[in-house]
């Protein structure tokens, strides 16, 4: 069940697309949305976001009693416990959790026929709002941040990503611990509860510190690995989630990175060489997608997941041109890039999925964005032209120079072929005269190499 309040500062498109995005986010978690409860209001209600009447309506739909009672929530906490148990929660070693029956025949017209597993709210909830909503609905409640953290938690694969997500998750859960005592604490009775809570909070703090240390170690290892790749020329694909970065990566590198029509299909950076390989080769990084209202702790985790990519000399900013909210997605991506210190890296807009646009829409966009590349990642000839243009980006920095390479130093000539473009070779008495185009640093490197040999 999705819940959102249409506040006066959001226009209709923003409101619906945000809600649709939330729907896609929960579907990434494996939930099917059965209904959306929305309300026009000037502000969010302090107690439980929705007004009293709407809250009652929501309770009817979810099988809860629809108000923020004062009694200790007994039954309702099971949902939370179960979720935490499923998610491998760190605080509840109480494995003895009742699993409530699941029932699929939910009356969309709002009859009280079945329970829902999750109420996802498209606003940031305070711990007490979340708590109150859980009481009123009898279901587990997550806000957008909680949903996103949960996705990362379930899907992060690399050691580094998992550490970062765990830190974000604990930081998110810690304040919520205060107002929602876990089963373990309740068993200990009232007085003990307080002490146990203190203990739990301290445990969380210690654990966060521990994880941060581990993270530093993992990152040190990666720095070493990265420095081996440093000479390579690199570009990074960045952009909003589901824009088509991985699809483009696959097509450009002939690799089989994961592509899926779901949000946050990619959570780790992968690096592959452009294929067929130009000389010198160019590395392409595929990165995690951005999303609006990205939880702050995850921004930090994005930063480090993205660090590698940000060492790229050029960013291809991939945009889903067929998404009605592409403009705000573009703005969000730029903001986050700015925030993680990548605002200055040169970038090119790649308007993707143009196969989904009507010809006149495409024409209008071309006029608006004269410098952007317009492509479909599914069209091989578009991909080929992206490849050529990527090579072009690097060759644009080339300068031309002439070298004399003695006959006993022909190995240097073959190295030169590997790191730039040899445009002419003339065999003379004292060696091969080579007209060479490459990056200025590369030219300088060969100069000093040949000087030294003399």
Under DSSP, the state recorded for 356 is G
Residue 185 has a CB neighbour count (10 Å cut-off) of 22
Residue 270 within binding range of ligand GTP, rule CB under 6 A: no
Under DSSP, the state recorded for 439 is -
Phi first, then psi, for residue 192 (nearest 5°) are -65, -30
Choose which of 83, 233, 353, 387 interacts with ligand GTP (CB under 6 A).
Answer: 353
Q: Which does 243 bind (CB under 5 to 8 A by kind): Mg ion, ligand GTP, none?
A: ligand GTP
Using an 8 Å Cβ cutoff, are 291 and 240 in contact? yes
Choose which of 39, 145, 242, 333 interacts with ligand GTP (CB under 6 A).
Answer: 242
Annotated binding site, which residues? Answer: 239-246, 264-268, 286-289, 352-355, 376-378
Residue 216 has a CB neighbour count (10 Å cut-off) of 10
Annotated binding site for GTP, which residues? Answer: 239-246, 264-268, 286-289, 352-355, 376-378
Choose which of 39, 164, 173, 266 interacts with Mg ion (CB under 5 A).
Answer: 266
Q: To 5 degrees, how large is the angle CA 340–CA 345–CA 346?
A: 145
Q: Give me the sign of the Cα torsion angle 69, 73, 75, 80.
A: positive
**Which of 72-80, 200-208, 220-228, 350-358 is the region at the interface with ligand GTP (rule: CB under 6 A)?**
350-358
Give the per-residue contact string, 369-408, with ligand GTP (x = CB under 6 A; - = no): -------xxx------------------------------
Q: Which is nearer to ligand GTP, 17 or 401 (CB)?
A: 17
* Rounded CA separation 248/235 (Å): 13
**Cβ at position 59, least distance to Mg ion in Å:** 38
Q: Which is nearer to ligand GTP, 5 or 271 (CB)?
A: 271
Residue 264 within binding range of ligand GTP, rule CB under 6 A: yes
Q: Give me the sign of the Cα torsion angle 53, 120, 8, 365.
A: negative
Residue 61 within binding range of Mg ion, rule CB under 5 A: no
**Cβ at position 350, least distance to Mg ion in Å:** 14
**Cβ at position 291, least distance to ligand GTP in Å:** 9
Residue that the structure tokens 């929602």 belong to: 180
Name residue 238's beta-bridge partners. Answer: 317
Residue 130 within binding range of ligand GTP, rule CB under 6 A: no
The torsion region of residue 65 among left (phi > 0), alpha (psi -120 to 50) and beta comes to alpha
Residue that the structure tokens 């990619």 belong to: 266
Residue 247 within binding range of ligand GTP, rule CB under 6 A: yes
User: How many residues in the shown chain lie near ligand GTP by CB under 6 A?
Assistant: 23
Which residues within the stretch 222-251 sit at the binding site for Mg ion (CB under 5 A)?
246
Q: Which does 145 bind (CB under 5 to 8 A by kind): Mg ion, ligand GTP, none?
A: none
**Cβ at position 354, least distance to ligand GTP in Å:** 7
Residue 325 within binding range of ligand GTP, rule CB under 6 A: no
Q: Which does 65 bind (CB under 5 to 8 A by kind): Mg ion, ligand GTP, none?
A: none
**Cβ at position 44, least distance to ligand GTP in Å:** 29
Residues in the chain: 454
| DSSP per position, 272-309 | EE-SSPPSS-EEEEE-PPB-TT--HHHHHHHHHHHHHH
Those residues with Cβ within 8 angstroms of residue 161's Cβ, 6 or more apart along the chain or in another chain: 152, 267, 268, 301, 305
Those residues with Cβ within 8 angstroms of residue 6's Cβ, 6 or more apart along the chain or in another chain: 15, 38, 39, 40, 41
Cis peptide before 285 (omega within 30 of 0): no
Choose which of 265, 337, 432, 438 interacts with Mg ion (CB under 5 A).
Answer: 265
Q: Which is nearer to ligand GTP, 136 or 336 (CB)?
A: 336
Binding site for Mg ion (CB under 5 A): 246, 265-266
Binding site for ligand GTP (CB under 6 A): 239, 241-247, 259-261, 263-266, 289, 352-353, 355-356, 376-378
């Amino acid at each position: 069940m999705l819940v959102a309040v249409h506040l006066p500062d959001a226009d209709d498109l923003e409101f619906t697309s945000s809600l649709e995005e939330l729907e896609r986010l929960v579907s990434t978690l494996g939930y099917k949305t059965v209904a959306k409860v929305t309300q026009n209001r000037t502000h969010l209600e302090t107690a439980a976001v929705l007004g009293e009447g709407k809250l009652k309506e929501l309770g009817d739909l979810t099988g809860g009693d629809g108000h923020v009672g004062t009694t200790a929530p007994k039954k309702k906490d099971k949902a939370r416990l179960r979720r935490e148990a499923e998610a491998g929660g760190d605080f509840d070693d109480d494995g003895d959790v009742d699993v409530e029956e699941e029932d699929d025949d939910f009356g969309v017209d709002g009859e009280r026929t079945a329970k829902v597993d999750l109420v996802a709210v498209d606003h940031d909830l305070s711990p007490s709002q979340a708590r109150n909503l859980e009481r009123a609905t009898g279901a587990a409640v997550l806000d957008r941040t909680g949903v996103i953290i949960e996705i990362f938690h379930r899907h992060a694969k690399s050691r580094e990503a998992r550490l970062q997500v765990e830190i974000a998750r604990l930081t998110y859960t810690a304040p919520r611990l205060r107002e929602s005592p876990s089963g373990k604490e309740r068993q200990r009775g009232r007085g003990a509860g307080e002490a146990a809570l203190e203990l739990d909070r301290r445990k969380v703090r210690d654990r966060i510190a521990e994880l941060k240390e581990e993270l530093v170690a993992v990152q040190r290892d990666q720095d070493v690995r990265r420095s081996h790749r440093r000479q390579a020329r690199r570009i990074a694909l960045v952009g909003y989630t589901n824009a088509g970065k991985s699809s483009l990566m696959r097509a450009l590198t002939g690799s089989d990175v994961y592509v899926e029509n779901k949000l946050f299909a990619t959570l780790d950076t992968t690096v592959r060489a452009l294929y067929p390989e130009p000389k010198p080769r160019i590395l392409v990084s595929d990165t995690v997608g951005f999303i609006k209202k990205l939880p702050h702790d995850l921004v930090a985790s994005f930063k480090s997941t993205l660090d590698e990519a940000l060492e790229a000399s050029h960013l291809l900013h991939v945009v889903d041109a067929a998404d009605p909210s592409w403009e705000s997605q573009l703005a969000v991506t730029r903001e986050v890039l700015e925030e993680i210190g990548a605002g200055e890296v040169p970038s090119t807009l790649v308007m993707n999925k143009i196969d989904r646009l009507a010809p006149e829409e495409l024409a209008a966009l071309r006029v608006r964005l004269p410098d952007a590349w317009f492509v479909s990642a599914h069209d091989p000839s578009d991909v080929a032209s992206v490849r050529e243009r990527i090579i072009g980006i690097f060759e644009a920095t080339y300068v031309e120079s002439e070298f004399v390479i003695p006959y006993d130093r022909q190995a240097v000539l073959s190295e030169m072929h590997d790191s730039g473009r040899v445009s002419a070779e003339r065999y003379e008495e004292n060696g091969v005269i080579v007209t060479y185009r490459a990056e200025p640093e590369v030219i300088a490197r060969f100069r000093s190499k040949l000087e030294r040999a003399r």
